Chain A
Amino acid sequence: MVDRERRITRRDLLRRAPAAGAVGLSLPALLAACGRGPEQQAGGGASPSATAIPTGDLEGTSIKVSTYGGFFEENFAAMYPAFTKETGVEVESVEQPTSEVWVVQLKQAVDSGTPPPADISMLSGVGIQRAINGDILATYDVSNLTNADNIAEGYIRTTDDGLVTGVGNVSWYITIVSNTERVPESPTSWSAFWDSEWENELALLRNAANSYLLEITATLYFDGYDILDTEDGIVEVMTKLQEVKPNVKLFYRDEAQAQQAFNTGEVSLGQFYHDITTFAASQGEPLRSVFPDEGAVLDSGFWAVTRTTENVGGCVAFIDYFCRPEVQAELARTLGTTPTARKETMDLTEKEYEAVGGPGPDAALRPKYEIYDQFEDFIDQQWTEMMLS
């Protein structure tokens, strides 16, 4: 005999369908977040051989170039026509959210063999390292860059064999940013973040690998970066950093979110980008950026070519163009970023240079990129625990 109570009738099924369907509803988002599956391969280390650069005529070819969105991208896009006029290479400008997110998308395109979302991408220091480790970048000989001599030391990333993987194009500073209406006089030291005066008033970047708060804390309280060489040291620094938490109102991932919070005075003080702040202030927003006594954090954007591009010649010509001193100077004047070209090669006045670079790169804190390579998941776990504590 069939147990009538247990048998699922059509009506039962219909009644329960919304709930069952709902389980499915949440899945597309999760699937989307998780990206591709088993056939995806990952490689370690950089490509051993250089990508061949065709020497033919570039006239009429095209490339897609990706930079950070908004004001940043608009400014870059305005400079592309001059390059096209000179070389005949059409440039399509594409926006990217952040390097870390963008690298994942590039990786998926390279693995699946679909056209990459961009032939050239601007990648941050941490982003380009992941791209190199994931073997998704084209490499080429430095001799292809006729203007490479203009670029300051440390801005040309190469493989162990000396092949170029990325060329620094702009640098930016992370400084102490405050809303002038809420903060009459800005603090000049990162140590202000630990001051209870700012309880529930701070905005900080949300990840260890883009906020560089570990470097800042190590400089302030542990006499430099040496302590970050071991896991125990990282934990010690993280414990000190934890004291900041009551002061943090906003841990932000998106610049737009932080920008709005700073502009409106939703937060009073925090870490943010010097270039965007200076631009927003020039547009009348009540903001100021201060280079801290201990040094602002200096990060850079590197031009990197996707391995599967069909126009590596056009890409290298583009990168070479952006190594020119006059182009670098123009970027500093319009975008407010710090040039990667050596100071003496450009016609920037002292005042212009100081406006974008403050006391200069020598006084800046440099990210300790290698720890995000070596201890990535350890730092991430500790960081998550710190934020949730």
Chain B
Amino acid sequence: MSERRDPTPATYGVLAIPIAVLAVFFLIPFGMIVATSFYRRIQGGFYEPAFEVASWQRLLSDVFLERAAFSIGICLLAGAACIAIAFPFTYFLTRMRRRPHVALLILVLSALSLSEVIVAFTWSVLLGRAAGISNILVWLGAMNEPVAYQPSFIAVLLGLSYIAFPYCVLTLYPSLTRLDREVTEAAQTLGASPWRTFWTVVVPISRPVIMAGFLLVFVFTLGSYLIAALLGRPEHWTLSVFISDQASFNANVPFASAMAIFLTALSLVVVGVVALIESRTRRVA
């Protein structure tokens, strides 16, 4: 076993670089956004430095609070959907022979090269009535005429889950690769079926990484706005769609800033609550 050593000046030197980058490119811009959220909005124009709470007051109107709640809800659902698909997928992926294992992994990761615009447009075509999957069902005789599955809530959820899926697999992959085969073999030696082994051994052992994957998808999808804007009706638009609209179309950067901070704070609260529940239940277990 390696001994722990006290950090040397070189260690601090190495740490200083990422900390400085974080300060310059994250904390300072974030501080600027906080300041901007209190600026005075000039209707028909832009904004000017001031200290006003008007943007925050507007944020507290029912319509935007309801949007925030909706955004949290759909992104939590996307997180759950991703884990439900990605966890068994990754588990069986790591149990495959090397060649199909690598091929499948490359296939999943190649989805990362697609931009959100491409993904959103492709799904809008696939779920549309003109050239979408319902045409195949018509061709097979299962339907009389093609129908559109977008814009809809399901289409947005599908799109969000699709863009986050590779990240979810990437989060689960290292842990599941290292999962000791002797553990599952022991369970099966004791008479557990493969299915029972998966549910009662693999899933509980992997709970921390499942939580990490779930939260990653939640926060990642919370920042997405194109998917919701292109695949949903207005009632399926997340708060990010409105942030983008306010900042770029209405030039109302103070209000966009207030919404962005609110959304970030909400996501931190949700992450905190989930982490707390996770640690509490682990202690009880």
Contacts and interface: CB of A to CB of B under 8 A. Distances in A.
A37 B29 contact: yes
B219 A37 contact: no
B63 A38 contact: no
A23 B274 CA distance: 14
A100 B260 contact: no
Interface in B7-52: 26, 29-33, 35-36, 41-49
Interface in A190-205: none
A373 B46 CA distance: 11
Given A15-B212, A30-B223, A374-B43, A266 B251 contact: no
B247 to A, nearest CB: 4
A268 B218 CA distance: 36
Interface in B220-236: 220, 222-225, 229-230, 233-235
A35 B248 CA distance: 9
Given A30-B260, A37-B36, A133 B267 contact: no
B131 interface: yes
Interface stretch (B84-92, B196-204, B237-245): B237-245
Interface residues of A, number: 59
Contacts of B220: 22, 25-26
Interface string B104-122: 0000000000000000010
A359 to B, nearest CB: 31
B63 A385 contact: yes
A38 B32 contact: yes
B261 to A, nearest CB: 9
B212 A36 contact: no
B158 to A, nearest CB: 17
B148 to A, nearest CB: 7
Contact of B249 (A23, A101, A388): A101
Contacts of A27: 26, 30, 223, 264
A224 interface: no
Interface centre among B42, B45, B58, B268 (most CB of A within 10 A): B45
Contact of B171 (A18, A30, A253): A18
A5 B283 contact: yes
A48 B251 CA distance: 23
B251 A384 contact: no
A352 interface: no
Contacts of B166: none
A26 B219 contact: yes
A27 B265 CA distance: 11
Interface in B147-189: 148, 151, 171
Given A19-B271, A266-B129, A384 B30 contact: no
- Range, interface on chain B: 35 or more
B78 interface: no
Contact of B264 (A16, A30, A44, A264): A30
Interface stretch (A57-65, A296-304, A375-383): A375-383
A101 B249 CA distance: 5
A33 B248 contact: yes
B54 to A, nearest CB: 9
Given A42-B48, A253-B229, A37 B32 contact: yes
Per DSSP, chain A at the interface is helix
Given A42-B48, A133-B44, A266-B129, A33 B244 contact: yes
A207 B249 CA distance: 9
Contacts of B212: 15-16, 18-19
B29 A23 contact: no
A164 interface: no
B247 A34 contact: yes
Contact of B63 (A107, A129, A388): A388
A380 B58 CA distance: 11
A26 B251 CA distance: 21
Given A33-B247, A33-B256, A101-B249, A23 B48 contact: no
A135 to B, nearest CB: 8
A5 B119 CA distance: 44
A22 B270 CA distance: 12
Nearest to A263: B130
B58 to A, nearest CB: 7
A384 B213 CA distance: 34
Given A37-B29, A40-B36, 18 more contacts: A19-B215, A22-B271, A23-B219, A25-B223, A29-B224, A31-B33, A34-B33, A37-B31, A44-B45, A100-B251, A107-B251, A253-B249, A260-B121, A266-B129, A374-B43, A385-B63, A388-B67, A388-B235
Interface of A: 5, 15-16, 18-27, 29-31, 33-38, 40-44, 98, 100-101, 103-104, 107, 129-130, 133-134, 207, 249-251, 253, 257, 260, 264-266, 372-377, 380-381, 384-385, 387-388
Interface of B: 26, 29-33, 35-36, 41-49, 58, 61, 63, 66-67, 121, 124-125, 128-131, 148, 151, 171, 208-209, 211-213, 215-216, 218-220, 222-225, 229-230, 233-235, 240, 242-245, 247-253, 256-257, 260, 263-264, 267-268, 271, 275, 283
23 contacts: A15-B209, A21-B216, A22-B216, A22-B219, A22-B220, A27-B264, A29-B224, A29-B240, A31-B30, A31-B33, A34-B33, A34-B36, A36-B253, A42-B46, A44-B42, A101-B248, A103-B251, A249-B151, A253-B229, A264-B125, A264-B130, A266-B124, A377-B58
